[in-house]
């Protein structure tokens, strides 16, 4: 089986998490009033804030800190874009329908979940049909046999029409990347025609998944954060030194192909040196991704990079690794890192009217030999009539491609399948020296492609905790302060005008300091603490009678994870909490 057997406690965590997510406003299936629709989720107030914080953290690291540009392109694009990108022809999954209940399933998933095949997606359809029959695989929904059912391809793009009528078909983009590639001719201008440069985009992508499942892990509308990094493959090298010491858990293809083998613990530098990661640019981005995932709260004991098996990799991709997080005992893909070579830009160059190349200026101008022709038209005209220009074109192409063809007395040209011989002296063939400043090249693309929704799920799952406080069971989310939807909850101990007035002032001060604050005055204080624990608020501040009666105005500050409480002066509360949020101060050190 491709995935580890799910551990029971982990599955329970998922069930409890999905329930908590709905109850506390993280996420829930959308359009519930109309029965809900598979594969579409709404992020509630907590979820939208968490997702926004994760996106901001991604933007800080992959756009701002790397000096890359961010764009925001439309989500609907015209058909020619997807003809060029190959999505129209090949963005398919394998579909098998149950003969009993009619439910549709991903045939490759049915095979992978129930046999030793790890990469069923790369098998030809007839073979998948054979495996289904041979293993007597059954419908995951109703257990009816699937043997004998046809497996078909199903294109995952959502189609629409642009404007009235159907003459102008369009598609919801299945990845944000194409929005970057098609704008390359303009983006390169903004980068002053200098490689390397990177362009990021955070936005929605749409895939009509055959069987959306596991809440927000596989949906039909989701958010991607993608970076397309354009390089000159001959000139540009990554700053590998800066990530060489990053520790990583790797699951290389060769280990996956060896029985009983497992992940290896190494560093980015060692992995490149040993040839485990074949592409230095991919290695560089793995090196910055690993600490970033850790910073947003992914548990590093449940995180690895897995190399694509050769059949899994796109035909154009030179090396490809996925970031994977462990959920319910199964590894799920969180992001893909690929060297896409010049595939995307070459395709758009071929299909569109624009140029998807960049001018590579040489350090020094180069002198090159160029073979040219200058045919004698007074000879070609009478000899070839209306075809004379075609002969000229043929001679020019031949001179560029194979100058040895002009070595003899005569040269041969093909004209509508017929070979014609003409004297070389009539072609005006010559080889001249020319000085050139550079050449047009098609940049290669390195693509780190992150899924935001799966990451949000993983962060919540890895943060889910249960413990006992004062003899009572408690659930809390151990979220990193950087991504927690709310940083601090402020409560007046009781319903009392004086307490509420001080609490209001504290809320205003903390918000002025840029902290995200929630005010809660309903229910007893224990209930309020539990509520904030459950949504992962790192700190709570309680205004009590000591606050208003003592000379020095102090409040109780409680830390979520330890439930430790300290009395701190209100005067510099904003500064203290801001320092903690920024990682400059530990609560335990106060
Ligand atoms: P999978 O094999 O799981 O379908 P993929 O290899 O097709 O994923 P990519 O095309 O590499 O995914 O997309 C990049 C990222 O977008 C994935 O790593 C994942 O985090 C996210 N993603 C892809 N499809 C979905 C989906 N249906 N729902 C949620 N996130 C998705």
Asked if residue 278 and residue 203 are part of one domain, the reply reads yes
Nearest CA to ligand 1 atom 28: 218
Q: How far apart are CA 240 and CA 446, in angstroms?
A: 15
How many angstroms does the Cα of residue 332 sit away from the middle of ligand 1? 10
Confidence of residue 5 (pLDDT cuts 50, 70, 90): very low
Nearest ligand 1 atom to the CA of 335 is: 18
> Per the structure block, which two tokens stand in for 22?
């709905």
pTM: 0.88
In this structure, the number of other CB atoms found within 10 A of the CB of residue 585 comes to 15
Q: In the structure, which protein residues have their CB atom closer than 6 angstroms to any atom of ligand 1?
A: 175, 207, 209, 218-219, 222, 224, 333-336, 449, 451, 453-454
How many angstroms does the Cα of residue 275 sit away from the middle of ligand 1? 27
Read off the CATH number of the domain in which 564 is found: 3.40.50.800
Which of the 8 DSSP states describes residue 508? Answer: H
Nearest CA to ligand 1 atom 3: 333
The gap from C-alpha 432 to its chain's centroid, in whole angstroms, comes to 50
Domain-located, residue 461:
no
> Per the structure block, which two tokens stand in for 280?
């230095």
Asked if residue 63 and residue 101 are part of one domain, the reply reads no
Of the chain, the end-to-end C-alpha distance in Å amounts to 50
How many angstroms does the Cα of residue 333 sit away from the middle of ligand 1? 7
Helices 107-114, 125-134: axis angle to 10 degrees equals 40
> Which of 40, 95, 107, 222 to mutate for ligand 1's pocket (most ligand atoms within 8 Å of CB)?
222
How many angstroms does the Cα of residue 223 sit away from the middle of ligand 1? 10
Domain-located, residue 386:
yes
Asked if residue 338 and residue 311 are part of one domain, the reply reads yes
Nearest CA to ligand 1 atom 18: 335
Q: How far apart are CA 183 and CA 123, in angstroms?
A: 35
Nearest ligand 1 atom to the CA of 451 is: 20
**Residue where the block lists tokens 């903004």:** 190
> Average pLDDT of 231-256?
95
Nearest CA to ligand 1 atom 1: 333
Does residue 582 sit in helix, strand or coil? coil
Instruction: State residue 275 phi and psi, 5-degree precision.
Output: 75, 15
- Strand-pairing partners, residue 473, are 468
Nearest ligand 1 atom to the CA of 218 is: 28
In this structure, the number of other CB atoms found within 10 A of the CB of residue 371 comes to 18
Read off the CATH number of the domain in which 25 is found: 3.30.930.10
How many angstroms does the Cα of residue 224 sit away from the middle of ligand 1? 8
Given 383, 413, 439, which residue is the final one in a domain? 439
How many angstroms does the Cα of residue 451 sit away from the middle of ligand 1? 6
pLDDT tens, position by position, 278-327 = 999 999 999 999 999 999 999 999 999 999 987 777 766 678 999 999 99
Given 154, 181, 207, which residue is the final one in a domain? 154
Q: How far apart are CA 198 and CA 446, in angstroms?
A: 9
Nearest one of 335, 458, 521 to 21, comparing CA atoms = 458
pLDDT tens, position by position, 201-235 = 999 999 999 988 788 999 999 999 999 999 999 99
Q: How far apart are CA 217 and CA 223, in angstroms?
A: 11
How many angstroms does the Cα of residue 415 sit away from the middle of ligand 1? 51
Nearest ligand 1 atom to the CA of 455 is: 20
Lowest mean pLDDT among 351-355, 475-479, 583-587: 583-587
User: What's the burial of 466, exposed, middle or buried (CB within 10 Å: 0-12/13-18/19+)?
Assistant: exposed
Residue 6 predicted with pLDDT over 70: no
- Percent of the chain at pLDDT exceeding 70: 98
Asked if residue 384 and residue 327 are part of one domain, the reply reads no
pLDDT tens, position by position, 20-31 = 999 999 999 999
To which H or E segment does residue 541 belong? Answer: strand 539-543
Asked if residue 328 and residue 265 are part of one domain, the reply reads yes
Asked if residue 292 and residue 198 are part of one domain, the reply reads yes
> Per the structure block, which two tokens stand in for 112?
């992978």
> Per the structure block, which two tokens stand in for 190?
């903004």
How many angstroms does the Cα of residue 175 sit away from the middle of ligand 1? 9
Half-sphere exposure of 477 (CA within 13 A, CB side): 32
The pLDDT of residue 157: 96
Asked if residue 74 and residue 217 are part of one domain, the reply reads yes
> Per the structure block, which two tokens stand in for 85?
């990108």
The pLDDT of residue 206: 98
The pLDDT of residue 1: 37
Asked if residue 174 and residue 107 are part of one domain, the reply reads no
Q: How far apart are CA 387 and CA 230, in angstroms?
A: 43
The pLDDT of residue 2: 40
Nearest CA to ligand 1 atom 26: 218
Q: How far apart are CA 337 and CA 227, in angstroms?
A: 10
Asked if residue 335 and residue 380 are part of one domain, the reply reads no
Confidence of residue 333 (pLDDT cuts 50, 70, 90): very high
Asked if residue 177 and residue 143 are part of one domain, the reply reads no
Q: How far apart are CA 388 and CA 382, in angstroms?
A: 9
Q: How far apart are CA 229 and CA 239, in angstroms?
A: 14
Q: Are 347 and 177 in contact (CB under 8 A)?
A: no
- Continuous H helices in 275-387: 280-295, 343-351, 377-384
Nearest ligand 1 atom to the CA of 323 is: 18
Q: How far apart are CA 394 and CA 410, in angstroms?
A: 15
Q: Which residues constitute the domain of residue 387?
A: 364-439
Given 138, 154, 170, which residue is the final one in a domain? 154
> Which of 178, 454, 457 to mutate for ligand 1's pocket (most ligand atoms within 8 Å of CB)?
454
Asked if residue 165 and residue 130 are part of one domain, the reply reads no
Q: What angle do CA 141, 143, 146 make, to 5 degrees?
A: 100
Nearest CA to ligand 1 atom 29: 218
Asked if residue 240 and residue 113 are part of one domain, the reply reads no
Q: How far apart are CA 313 and CA 327, in angstroms?
A: 24
Confidence of residue 10 (pLDDT cuts 50, 70, 90): low
Nearest CA to ligand 1 atom 2: 333
Cα-based distances in Å from 138 to 94, 95, 103: 16, 14, 12
Half-sphere exposure of 533 (CA within 13 A, CB side): 22
């Amino acid at each position: 089986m491709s995935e580890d057997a799910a551990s029971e406690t982990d599955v329970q965590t998922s069930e409890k998490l999905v329930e908590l997510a709905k109850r506390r406003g993280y996420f829930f299936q959308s359009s519930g009033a109309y029965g809900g629709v598979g594969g579409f989720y709404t992020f509630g107030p907590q979820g939208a804030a968490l997702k926004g914080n994760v996106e901001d953290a991604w933007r800080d690291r992959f756009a701002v800190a790397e000096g890359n540009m961010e764009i925001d392109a439309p989500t609907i694009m015209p058909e020619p874009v997807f003809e060029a990108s190959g999505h129209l022809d090949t963005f398919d999954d394998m579909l098998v329908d149950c003969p009993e209940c009619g439910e549709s399933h991903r045939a490759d998933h049915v095979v992978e979940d129930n046999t030793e095949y790890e990469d069923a997606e790369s098998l030809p359809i007839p073979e998948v049909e054979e495996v289904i029959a041979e293993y007597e695989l059954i419908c995951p929904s109703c257990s009816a046999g699937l043997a004998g059912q046809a497996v078909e391809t199903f294109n995952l793009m959502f189609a629409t029409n642009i404007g009235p009528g159907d003459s102008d078909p369009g598609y919801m983009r299945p990845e944000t990347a194409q929005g970057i590639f098609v704008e390359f001719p303009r983006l390169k201008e903004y980068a002053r025609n200098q490689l390397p440069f990177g362009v990021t985009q955070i936005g929605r992508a749409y895939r009509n998944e055959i069987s959306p499942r596991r809440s927000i892990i596989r949906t039909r509308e989701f958010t991607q954060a993608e970076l397309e990094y354009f390089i000159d493959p001959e000139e540009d090298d990554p700053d590998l030194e800066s990530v060489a010491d990053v520790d990583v858990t790797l699951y290389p293809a060769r280990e996956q192909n060896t029985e009983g083998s497992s992940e290896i613990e190494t560093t980015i530098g060692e992995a490149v040196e040993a040839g485990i990661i074949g592409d230095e640019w991919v290695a560089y981005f793995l090196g910055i991704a690993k600490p970033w995932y850790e910073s947003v709260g992914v548990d590093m004991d449940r995180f690895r990079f897995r190399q694509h098996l050769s059949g899994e990799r796109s035909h154009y991709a030179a090396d490809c690794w996925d970031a994977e997080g462990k959920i319910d005992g199964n590894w799920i893909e969180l992001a893909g890192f690929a060297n896409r070579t010049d595939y995307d830009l070459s395709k758009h160059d071929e299909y569109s009217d624009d140029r998807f190349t960049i001018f590579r200026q040489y350090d020094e101008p180069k002198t090159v030999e160029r073979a040219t022709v200058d045919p004698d038209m007074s000879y070609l005209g009478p000899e070839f009539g209306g075809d004379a220009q075609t002969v000229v074109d043929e001679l020019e192409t031949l001179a560029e491609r194979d100058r040895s063809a002009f070595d003899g007395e005569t040269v041969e040209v093909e004209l509508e399948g017929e070979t014609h011989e003409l004297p070389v002296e009539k072609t005006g063939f010559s080889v001249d020296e020319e000085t050139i400043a550079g050449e047009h090249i098609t940049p290669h693309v390195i693509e780190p492609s992150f899924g935001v929704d799966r990451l949000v799920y993983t962060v919540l799952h890895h943060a889910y905790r249960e413990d006992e406080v004062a003899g009572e069971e408690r659930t809390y989310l151990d979220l990193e302060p950087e991504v927690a939807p709310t940083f601090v909850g402020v409560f007046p101990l009781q319903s009392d005008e004086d307490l509420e007035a001080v609490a209001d002032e504290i809320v205003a001060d903390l918000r002025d300091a840029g902290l995200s604050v929630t005010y809660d005055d309903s229910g007893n204080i224990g209930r309020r603490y539990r509520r904030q624990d459950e949504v992962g608020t790192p700190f709570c501040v309680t205004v009590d009678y000591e606050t208003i009666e003592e000379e020095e105005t102090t409040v109780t500050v409680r830390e979520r994870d330890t439930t430790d409480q300290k009395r701190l002066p209100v005067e510099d509360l904003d500064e203290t909490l801001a320092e903690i949020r920024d990682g400059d101060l530990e609560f335990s050190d106060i």
